[in-house]
């Protein structure tokens, strides 16, 4: 009798796991949507902050700080071309505290 019951029990357990995974999909999708919305809000906030100031140094600092946070960097440096376009100049360096 066990020979017939065990395969059926395994089949039921497999089906149960499949249905649990299917039921969890909407939660995972909502998590992805929430992350995308949060990222969008962060980008809009950063864009607003950049637009609200015309000070080049403030724009550079804000950009480097946010880029460093987004990419979870310990250090971040910004190099830009000089007016001649022939050389790179260190425009901003940031050491982010990870502690």
Q: Please check whether residue 6 lies inside any domain of the structure.
A: yes
User: Which residues form the domain of 20?
Assistant: 2-52
CA–CA dist 44, 30 (Å, integer): 21
> Which has more pLDDT, 34 or 9?
34
Q: Please check whether residue 39 lies inside any domain of the structure.
A: yes
CA–CA dist 61, 69 (Å, integer): 12
72: left (phi over 0), alpha (psi -120 to 50) or beta: left
Please give the sequence-ordered ranges of beta strands (E in DSSP) within 1-99, or none if there are none: 75-81, 88-95
Provide the number of structural domains found in the chain.
1
Q: Please check whether residue 67 lies inside any domain of the structure.
A: no
The answer, yes or no, to whether residue 41 has pLDDT greater than 70, is yes
> Which has more pLDDT, 99 or 5?
5
- For residue 72, the model assigns a pLDDT of 83
Mean pLDDT across the chain, nearest whole number? 81
> Which has more pLDDT, 82 or 6?
82
- For residue 2, the model assigns a pLDDT of 67
Q: Please check whether residue 72 lies inside any domain of the structure.
A: no
Q: Please check whether residue 29 lies inside any domain of the structure.
A: yes
- For residue 37, the model assigns a pLDDT of 92
């Amino acid at each position: 009798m066990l020979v017939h019951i065990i395969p059926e029990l395994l089949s039921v357990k497999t089906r149960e796991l499949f249905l649990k995974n299917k039921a969890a999909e909407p939660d995972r999708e909502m998590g992805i949507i929430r992350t995308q919305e949060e990222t969008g809000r962060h980008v809009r906030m950063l864009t607003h902050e950049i637009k609200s100031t015309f000070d080049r140094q403030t724009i550079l600092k804000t950009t480097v700080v946010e880029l460093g946070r987004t990419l979870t960097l310990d250090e971040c440096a910004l190099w830009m071309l000089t007016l001649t376009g022939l050389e790179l100049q260190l425009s901003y360096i940031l050491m982010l505290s990870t502690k």
